[in-house]
């Protein structure tokens, strides 16, 4: 285990708002860690605290075992890239990228050399003399990336690096960034769960300033620890039910559980199979919508509305559904009710 | 390690020790003078203060109304008219206030070729105050308009909003900060101006004129008026600040009244505002030039000496303002604490103290240390120019995205390097324009300077004081008016030249702006 970053019990309050509550996690060398959370959950605050721009009220930050909680930002071996990129408007691409190396003590020649190396790495060779306002959004983002890389930080902190770009470019650049940052230790903050799940070695889910889940993407998606995480990481059907005798039932599927009493059953729309088998429960198709690549159905089965995904277009008014017991999640019924338990805040 | 914050703290100590404390001690001296006065003296003093408030309020409100379209024109259109207006805008500040008063008096009232429309009194004071408050409001507004985001306007227009409603719901709130900052400076300048007002007031007495008239014969009344003016000003500042925090200009569609008076054109080029600038401000300010006649001459040696003295004082004051004002402005723009709010309030104090009472009290204060009168005058100039620089430059720094600084720090630059390489580079033109404001203010100041000289019983002639003495002699028929005119004209030309140099030194507006 080679821990680069350790965040220990960080809390931060702005006036009446508790931005972070007792946040702790580690990032290991070469890991790609994503913090996903809804807007205003405190994720940008957390990055700023690690970068040294904000001071935490409580808790400590360690880099390679060294406590840097009181170290000023310019002495921290971290690279911070804000959402707005914050390229220096009065400097060329080269000057922007050189800025870090110069202030980290390199002489001019070395700084230029280093800057050129990273400008080339992000694919902007030939644009050294351009000013930020002459570049497209995607290019600006790559300049910001080169600028962070040029200080060769122990860990790179990215705050929503793709949010300013359009959807197509976002998917393309997501892959490119991953390639550019290969082998680097990265902490990436986003509200885009899909993007996070496709890139992350480790996923941290935050809600109202608290960490609610840590794990790898598949694990959290298929075996979420709470209703909130299940709901936040992708569409899911929640059905209220009661467990007794070691079982709960959904349609004709019996699932064994050690829970007793009121429970919530969770099943992902893609895990409900449409079958041509008359013995399976029959449902009425209430809604059919093409959502690009697949179809989203709302099916009424025995008075329960289920969202079901289908790769093929469904032309009949009725469908038979089958659910495998291993795809079914069983949660304790939350005392505050399902709606409040999954409320995004 | 030394950082921007340490520098700011040193500055705060400097500000309090050299600017705030002397001004406050001056007030205490005045309070002692004001102890035993009669009811009729109190009533006279208070009515003069009331006059000042009415003038300052009226001038500020009308000024804002005509300045918004004017500033909009200059900031948003980049043609030669805008460039010309931008250059000529500060010119009234270059006319020393005494000469300005005389010039305005000549234009509207008595004198050669005069219109003979308005005799000395309330309305002439109002007209005079337009000339020297207008540049402050327009300058502040231009800065704010240039830094606002155009996309907001485009978005609002896409919702089909009517022009008048757009003005009220989008433009005005966007300009709110600028309007309030400009109004504060304008109000403060108007309420404390002495040198020019004295010339045009006739029997009408504003607070500062009352103070100047009584200072030697009835110091008690003068001191009482000075303290009342100070308290009232602070109260009004407080009220304006409070109001500025509230939401105003509510959201609703274009109203009938707005349609009727055709606010539609309010933000496009506005002939009225241009005319206002030409007729009410520019021509009256420079009307003195009409007295120029061929072969006019004056005491060149005295003029050169005074010119040199005023330039040295203005330069020294500007440099000190910059040196201490930059870190303080940075602190005020970026810090968020009780100390910050306190310092901000304290910095404004010398600006609200009427210049005559400021000058008198500072004269007594520094005189008791046996300070050289020229240095005492420079200190007095520091007191009222420092707030102008700090307020104006603070607004400029606030318009720079703090994220740029945070990233620079994260990349390895400490706070001082970050300021030097990022913030300073992006605010160079604001420093230059703030420096112009300070330099012109010091160069042309009359009221405080004359009071310091009188309080210290010193024979010192800065350029404005020389002009005042010449105007007095001319009015007494001892020397021809052309002497005053030529001296004012030369002052003006030199002032404009210096302004051009300072502006160029500040660098052209870069492509990233």
For B415-425, how does the pLDDT look when each residue is reduced to its tens digit (9 = 90+)?
Answer: 889 999 999 99
CA–CA gap between residue B344 and residue B328 (Å, rounded): 9
Reported ipTM exceeds the 0.85 cut: no
Q: How many angstroms away from the CA of A32 is the closest CA of chain B? A: 21
The pair of structure tokens assigned to A34 is 């994503």
Can you give the pLDDT at residue B475?
A: 77
Can you give the pLDDT at residue B247?
A: 44
Query: Which residues of chain B lie closer than 8 angstroms to A102, CB-CB?
Result: 412
Interface contact flag, A133 B511, Cβ < 8 Å = yes
Residue in A76, A86, A133 nearest the CB of B512: A133
Can you give the pLDDT at residue B250?
A: 43
Q: Of the ranges A22-36, B369-383, B466-480, which one carries the lowest mean pLDDT score?
A: B466-480
Q: Of the ranges A148-152, B74-78, B387-391, B408-412, which one carries the lowest mean pLDDT score?
A: B74-78
Average pLDDT, chain A: 89
Can you give the pLDDT at residue B263?
A: 47
pLDDT confidence tier of residue A62, bands split at 50, 70 and 90: very high
Query: Which residues of chain B lie closer than 8 angstroms to A132, CB-CB?
Result: 512
The domains found in chain B, sorted by start residue, are 1-33+292-513 (1.10.3720.10), 43-290 (1.10.3720.10)
Dihedral, CA of residue B486, residue B489, residue B490 and residue B492, to nearest 10: 160
Query: Which residues of chain B lie closer than 8 angstroms to A133, CB-CB?
Result: 511-512
Element (H, E) at B185: helix B172-192
Mean pLDDT of A208-225: 90
Mean pLDDT of B106-115: 68
Alpha-helical runs (H) found in A151-295:
167-180, 193-199, 217-222, 227-232
pLDDT confidence tier of residue A130, bands split at 50, 70 and 90: very high
Q: How many angstroms away from the CA of A75 is the closest CA of chain B? A: 6
User: Rounded to the nearest 5 degrees, what angle is found at the Cα of A105, between the Cα atoms of A104 and A110?
Assistant: 105
Can you give the pLDDT at residue B244?
A: 58
Q: Is the pLDDT of residue B336 over 70?
A: yes
CA atoms within 13 A on the CB side of B439: 24
Q: Is the pLDDT of residue B146 over 50?
A: yes
Can you give the pLDDT at residue A95?
A: 94
Q: How many angstroms away from the CA of B409 is the closest CA of chain A? A: 5
pLDDT confidence tier of residue A282, bands split at 50, 70 and 90: confident
Query: Which residues of chain A lie closer than 8 angstroms to B422, CB-CB?
Result: 88
Q: Which residue does chain A place closest to B424, by CA atoms?
A: A90
Can you give the pLDDT at residue A93?
A: 95
Condensed to tens digits (0 to 9), the pLDDT of residues B31-77 reads 777 777 888 888 888 999 999 999 999 999 888 888 888 888 888 77
Q: Is the pLDDT of residue B169 over 70?
A: no
CA–CA gap between residue B485 and residue A159 (Å, rounded): 64
CA–CA gap between residue A288 and residue A317 (Å, rounded): 10
**In the 8-state DSSP scheme, what is residue B458?**
-
Interface contact flag, A89 B422, Cβ < 8 Å = no
Q: Is the pLDDT of residue B111 over 70?
A: no
Alpha-helical runs (H) found in A16-86:
43-51
Can you give the pLDDT at residue B150?
A: 63
Q: Is the pLDDT of residue B451 over 90?
A: no
Q: Is the pLDDT of residue B264 over 60?
A: no
Query: Which residues of chain B lie closer than 8 angstroms to A73, CB-CB?
Result: 406, 409-410
Q: Is the pLDDT of residue B145 over 70?
A: yes
pLDDT confidence tier of residue A156, bands split at 50, 70 and 90: very high
Residue whose C-alpha is closest to residue B68's, from B165, B175, B152: B175
CA–CA gap between residue A308 and residue A319 (Å, rounded): 11
Can you give the pLDDT at residue B513?
A: 35
Q: With contact defined as beta carbons under 8 Å apart, do B120 and B108 qualify?
A: no
CA B287 to chain CA centroid, nearest Å: 21
CA B422 to chain CA centroid, nearest Å: 28
pLDDT confidence tier of residue B176, bands split at 50, 70 and 90: confident
Q: Please give the full DSSP string across A286-326, using - where no structure is assigned.
A: EEEEE-SSSEEEEEEETTEEEEEEESSPP-SSEEEEEE-GG
CA–CA gap between residue A66 and residue A48 (Å, rounded): 18
Residue A93 in contact with partner chain B when CB distance is under 8 A: no
Q: Of the ranges B26-35, B107-116, B285-294, B417-426, which one carries the lowest mean pLDDT score?
A: B107-116
Mean pLDDT of A201-229: 90
**In the 8-state DSSP scheme, what is residue B255?**
P
Q: How many CB atoms lie within 10 A of CB A269?
A: 19
Residue whose C-alpha is closest to residue A161's, from A106, A91, A81, A233: A81
The domains found in chain A, sorted by start residue, are 3-230 (3.40.50.300), 236-341 (2.40.50.140)
Q: How many angstroms away from the CA of A127 is the closest CA of chain B? A: 17
Q: Please give the full DSSP string across B74-113, using - where no structure is assigned.
A: HHH--SHHHHHHHHHTTHHHHS-HHHHHHHHHHHHSSSTT
Residue A273, strand partner residues: A322
Average pLDDT, chain B: 79
CA–CA gap between residue B191 and residue A262 (Å, rounded): 74
CA–CA gap between residue B342 and residue B323 (Å, rounded): 21
Can you give the pLDDT at residue B407?
A: 93
Query: Which residues of chain A lie closer than 8 angstroms to B426, CB-CB?
Result: 89-90
Q: Is the pLDDT of residue B261 over 50?
A: no
Residues of B with CB under 8 A from a CB of A: 401, 403-404, 406-414, 417, 421-422, 425-426, 510-512
Residue whose C-alpha is closest to residue B66's, from B186, B201, B238, B233: B186
Condensed to tens digits (0 to 9), the pLDDT of residues B230-245 reads 788 777 777 766 665 5
Condensed to tens digits (0 to 9), the pLDDT of residues A247-274 reads 888 888 888 888 888 999 999 999 998 8
Mean pLDDT of B83-93: 81
Condensed to tens digits (0 to 9), the pLDDT of residues B357-387 reads 788 778 878 887 888 999 999 999 998 899 8
Element (H, E) at B313: helix B300-334
The pair of structure tokens assigned to B512 is 């990233």
Q: Is the pLDDT of residue A187 over 90?
A: yes
pLDDT confidence tier of residue B308, bands split at 50, 70 and 90: very high
Q: Is the pLDDT of residue B249 over 50?
A: no
Residue A78 in contact with partner chain B when CB distance is under 8 A: yes
Mean pLDDT of A232-245: 89
């Amino acid at each position: 285990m080679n821990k680069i970053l350790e965040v220990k019990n960080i809390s931060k309050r702005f006036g009446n708002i508790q931005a972070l509550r007792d946040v702790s996690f580690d990032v290991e060398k070469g890991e790609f860690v994503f913090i996903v959370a809804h807007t205003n959950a405190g994720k940008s605050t957390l990055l700023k605290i690690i970068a040294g721009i904000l001071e935490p009220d409580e808790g400590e930050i360690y880099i390679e075992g060294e406590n840097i909680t009181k170290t000023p930002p310019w002495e921290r071996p971290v690279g911070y890239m804000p959402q707005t990129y914050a390229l220096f408007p009065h400097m060329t691409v080269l000057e922007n990228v050189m800025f870090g190396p110069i202030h980290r003590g390199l002489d001019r020649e070395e700084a230029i050399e280093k800057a050129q190396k990273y400008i080339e790495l992000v694919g902007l060779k030939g644009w050294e003399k351009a000013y930020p306002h002459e570049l497209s959004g995607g290019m600006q983002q790559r300049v910001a990336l080169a600028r962070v890389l040029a200080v060769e930080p122990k860990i790179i902190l990215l705050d929503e690096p793709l949010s300013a770009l359009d959807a197509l470019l976002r998917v393309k650049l997501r892959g490119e960034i991953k390639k550019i940052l290969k082998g680097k230790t990265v902490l990436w903050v986003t509200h885009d769960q899909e993007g996070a799940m496709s890139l992350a070695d480790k996923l941290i889910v935050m809600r109202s300033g608290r960490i609610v889940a840590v794990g790898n993407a598949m694990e959290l998606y298929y075996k979420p620890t709470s209703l909130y995480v299940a709901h936040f990481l992708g569409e899911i059907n929640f059905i209220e039910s009661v467990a007794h005798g070691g079982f709960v039932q959904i349609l004709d599927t019996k699932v064994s559980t050690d829970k007793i009493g009121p429970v919530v059953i969770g099943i992902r729309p893609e895990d409900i199979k449409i079958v041509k088998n008359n013995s399976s429960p029959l449902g009425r198709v209430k809604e059919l919508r093409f959502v690009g690549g697949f179809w989203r159905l709302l099916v009424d089965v025995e008075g329960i509305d289920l969202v079901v995904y289908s790769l093929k277009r469904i032309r009949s008014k009725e469908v038979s559904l089958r659910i495998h017991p291993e795809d079914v999640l069983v949660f304790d019924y939350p005392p505050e009710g399902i709606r409040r338990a999954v409320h995004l805040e | 390690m030394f950082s921007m914050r340490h520098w700011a703290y040193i500055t705060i100590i400097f500000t309090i020790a050299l600017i705030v404390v002397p001004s406050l001690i001056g007030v205490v001296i005045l309070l002692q003078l004001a102890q035993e006065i009669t009811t009729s003296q109190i009533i006279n003093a208070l009515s003069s203060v009331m006059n000042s408030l009415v003038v300052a309020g009226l001038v500020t409100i009308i000024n804002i109304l005509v300045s918004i379209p004017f500033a909009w024109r200059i900031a948003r259109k980049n043609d030669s008219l805008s460039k010309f207006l931008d250059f000529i805008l500060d010119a009234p500040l270059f006319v020393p206030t005494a000469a300005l008063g005389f010039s305005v008096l000549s234009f509207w009232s008595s004198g050669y070729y005069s219109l003979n429309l308005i005799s000395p009194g309330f309305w002439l004071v109002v007209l005079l105050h337009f000339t020297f408050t207008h540049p402050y409001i327009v300058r502040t507004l231009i800065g704010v308009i240039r830094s606002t985001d155009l996309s907001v306007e485009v978005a609002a227009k896409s919702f089909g909003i009517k022009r008048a409603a757009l003005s009220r719901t989008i433009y005005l709130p966007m300009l709110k900060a600028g309007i309030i900052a400009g109004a504060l400076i304008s109000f403060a300048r108007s309420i404390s101006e002495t040198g020019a007002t004295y010339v045009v007031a006739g029997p009408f007495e504003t607070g500062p004129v009352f103070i100047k008239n009584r200072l030697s014969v009835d110091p008690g009344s003068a001191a009482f008026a000075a303290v009342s003016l100070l308290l009232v000003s602070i109260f009004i500042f407080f009220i304006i600040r409070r109001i500025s925090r509230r939401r105003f200009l509510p959201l609703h569609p274009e109203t009938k009244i707005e349609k009727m008076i055709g606010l539609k054109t309010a933000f496009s080029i506005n002939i009225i505002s241009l005319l206002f600038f030409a007729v009410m401000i520019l021509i009256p300010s420079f009307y003195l030039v009409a007295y120029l006649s061929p072969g006019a001459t004056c005491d060149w040696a005295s003029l050169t000496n005074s010119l040199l003295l005023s330039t040295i004082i203005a330069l020294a004051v500007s440099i000190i303002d910059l040196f201490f004002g930059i870190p303080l402005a940075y602190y005020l723009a970026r810090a968020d604490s009780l100390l910050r709010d306190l310092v901000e309030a304290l910095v404004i104090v010398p600006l609200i103290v009427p210049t005559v009472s400021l000058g008198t009290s500072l004269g007594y204060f520094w005189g008791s240390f046996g300070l050289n009168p020229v240095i005492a005058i420079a200190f007095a100039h520091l007191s009222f120019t420092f707030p102008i620089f700090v307020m104006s430059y603070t607004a400029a720094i606030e318009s720079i995205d703090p994220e740029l600084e945070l990233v620079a720090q994260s990349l390895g630059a400490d706070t001082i390097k970050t300021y030097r390489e990022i913030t300073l580079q992006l605010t160079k033109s604001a420093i230059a324009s703030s420096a112009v404001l300070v330099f012109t203010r010091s160069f042309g100041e009359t009221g405080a300077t004359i009071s310091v000289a009188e309080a210290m019983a010193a024979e010192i002639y800065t350029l404005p004081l020389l002009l005042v003495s010449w105007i007095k002699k001319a009015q007494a028929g001892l020397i021809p008016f052309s002497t005053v005119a030529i001296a004012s004209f030369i002052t003006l030309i030199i002032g404009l030249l210096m302004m051009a140099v300072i502006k160029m030194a500040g660098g052209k507006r870069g492509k990233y702006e």
